[in-house]
Amino acid sequence: MKARPRASHPSQDRRRALQLLASTPGGTTEELLVLAHGFSRDTVAGLVLAGLLTVVTETLRVDGPAVKVERVKITDDGRRVLEG
């Protein structure tokens, strides 16, 4: 069975997610993408698997114990998809 070729033009929903993250230099959480912007977890996961988004784990500490936060950020490949 042949591997399915990657679409050179993402769907409208995937493009909207890429545009949102391109305008958010620090990235955002998956929860915010899903709850506030209405993207499905499958859409976010598909963009990560395609190499268009990446997940960066940060450790934050304010006044208590350290908390790990995962941020979703656009990759250079994701930016190239938007350009062309």
Of 45, 72, 69, 46, which Cα lies nearest the Cα of 58? 69
Give tens-digit pLDDT for 33-78.
999 999 999 999 999 999 999 999 999 898 899 999 999 999 999 9
pLDDT at position 81 over 70: yes
Q: Are 72 and 55 in contact (CB under 8 A)?
A: yes
> pTM of the entire structure?
0.81
Domains contained in the chain, CATH given: 12-83 (1.10.10.10)
Give tens-digit pLDDT for 5-42.
444 456 899 999 999 999 998 999 999 999 999 999 99
Q: Decide: residue 57, CB within 10 A, 0-12 exposed, 13-18 middle, 19+ buried.
A: exposed
